[in-house]
């Protein structure tokens, strides 16, 4: 069951808009925010360390059974594609925000996209609605353990309504392009765990008013774990290095996710996920969402999905429903 989805396609472009800055929270709120942040970070680190240790021991038991197959597949590359009979089960970076550690097989192409998604938010009398039509993640397998990805927003339509000021602002156009390289470090072709690293860079290609004109980047570390009872768990830590919104300079954002998935009936599966984003930028607030969704495998190479991301902190977008499609060639 493929559960994984790039969060880059669903970041509201208003985060880089020249909107009024929110005032920094009082000392008590700031202390509470930092406390929650460090609790979450510590918990995530303990969970990751425990799972990785367990996974390494389990992997050691499976080395003898899988090493020959892995070595055989190492000869495949972009210009010598993996034969259909040797390909892995299709795995996607959608529909959840937790990235998959599994790569596209060498020499093959995978398209993952939202047919459409809409972001809704209401805060301090300002209503924001953003339509994102057909954002795409284009992936090509370079080696047996590496693929190249190009993520871009094909069309955005954003409307911001300020009831107090009685203003309405509408912006439409294309978004930015993200280039990513996924390198699987273990577990690509079997085992109870799989781990990868994904450096990425954003290139500002957006239409006027839909971005911040900055080249930005970061690195993602996704881990997949097979649990008892045919449950799947995904853990991810991400470091983003971004331009400040209101003043000159840069800041770092720390993103952590955990997701659980299970087959429901037949080829229908579901997942539940928690997303956390903590920024070091002055005056920023913790962003948290609970995400729910379904996947359905039409064939071995075609998957449909649908879901909704629900904001659970004031600074998060309120709702973000979506419908998506993934196809492998």
CATH code: domain of residue 177 = 2.40.160.40
For residue 137, tell me if it sits in a domain: yes
| DSSP string for residues in 86-138 | GPPPP--B-SSSSPPSPPPPTT-EEEEEEEEEEEEEEETTEEEEEEEE--EEE
The helix/strand/coil state of 204 is: coil
Average pLDDT over residues 94-123: 97
- pLDDT value at position 24? 41
Residue 329: name the closest of 83, 153, 76, 108 by CA.
108
The whole-chain average pLDDT of the chain stands at 86
Confidence band of 74 (pLDDT split at 50, 70, 90):
very high
> Which of 205-238 are b and which e, b meaning 16 or more Cβ less than 10 Å from the residue's Cβ?
ebeebbbbeeebbbebbbbbbeeeeeebbbbbbb
What is the number of domains present in the chain?
1
Confidence band of 246 (pLDDT split at 50, 70, 90):
confident
Report the range of poorest mean pLDDT among 62-76, 117-131, 253-267, 308-322: 62-76
- pLDDT value at position 44? 56
- pLDDT value at position 40? 57
- pLDDT value at position 247? 83
For residue 2, tell me if it sits in a domain: no
The answer, yes or no, to whether residue 266 has pLDDT greater than 70, is: yes
The answer, yes or no, to whether residue 119 has pLDDT greater than 90, is: yes
Average pLDDT over residues 304-314: 97
Residues of the chain with pLDDT > 70: what percent?
78
Report the range of poorest mean pLDDT among 13-22, 107-116, 317-326: 13-22
- pLDDT value at position 251? 96
pLDDT, tens digit, 9 for 90 and up, residues 21-71: 334 444 445 545 555 555 555 555 555 555 554 554 455 445 445 544 555
For residue 295, tell me if it sits in a domain: yes
For residue 1, tell me if it sits in a domain: no
Answer whether the bond into residue 39 is a cis peptide, omega within 30°: no
Average pLDDT over residues 113-118: 95
The answer, yes or no, to whether residue 201 has pLDDT greater than 80, is: yes
Confidence band of 264 (pLDDT split at 50, 70, 90):
very high
The domain in which residue 67 lies consists of 7-328
């Amino acid at each position: 069951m493929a559960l994984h989805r790039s969060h880059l396609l669903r970041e509201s472009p208003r985060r880089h808009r020249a909107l009024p800055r929110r005032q920094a929270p009082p000392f008590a709120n700031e202390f509470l925010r930092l406390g929650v942040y460090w609790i979450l970070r510590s918990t995530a680190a303990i969970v990751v360390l425990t799972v990785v240790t367990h996974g390494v021991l389990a992997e050691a038991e499976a080395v003898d059974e899988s090493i020959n197959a892995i070595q055989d597949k190492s000869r495949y590359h972009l210009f010598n594609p993996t034969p259909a009979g040797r390909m892995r089960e299709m795995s996607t970076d959608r529909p959840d925000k937790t990235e998959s550690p599994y790569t596209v097989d060498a020499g093959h192409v995978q398209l993952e996209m939202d047919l459409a998604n809409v972001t809704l938010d209401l805060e301090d009398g300002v209503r924001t609605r953003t339509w994102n039509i057909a954002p795409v993640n284009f992936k090509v397998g370079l080696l047996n353990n590496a693929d190249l990805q190009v993520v871009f927003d094909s069309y955005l339509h954003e409307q911001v309504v300020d009831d107090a000021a009685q203003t309405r602002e509408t912006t439409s156009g294309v978004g930015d392009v993200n280039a990513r390289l996924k390198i699987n470090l273990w577990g690509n072709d079997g085992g109870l765990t799989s781990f990868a690293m994904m450096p990425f860079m954003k290139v500002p290609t957006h239409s006027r008013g839909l971005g911040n004109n900055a080249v930005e980047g970061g690195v993602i570390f996704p881990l997949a774990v097979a649990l008892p009872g045919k449950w799947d768990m995904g853990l991810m830590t991400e470091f983003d290095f971004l331009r400040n919104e209101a003043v000159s300079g840069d800041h770092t954002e720390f993103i952590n996710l955990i997701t659980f998935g299970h087959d429901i009936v037949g080829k229908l599966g579901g997942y539940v996920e928690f997303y956390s984003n903590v920024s070091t930028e002055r005056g920023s607030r913790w962003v948290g969402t609970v995400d729910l969704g379904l996947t359905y495998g039409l064939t071995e190479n075609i998957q449909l999905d649908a879901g909704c991301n629900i904001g659970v902190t004031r600074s998060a977008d309120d709702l973000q429903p979506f419908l998506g499609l993934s196809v492998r060639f």
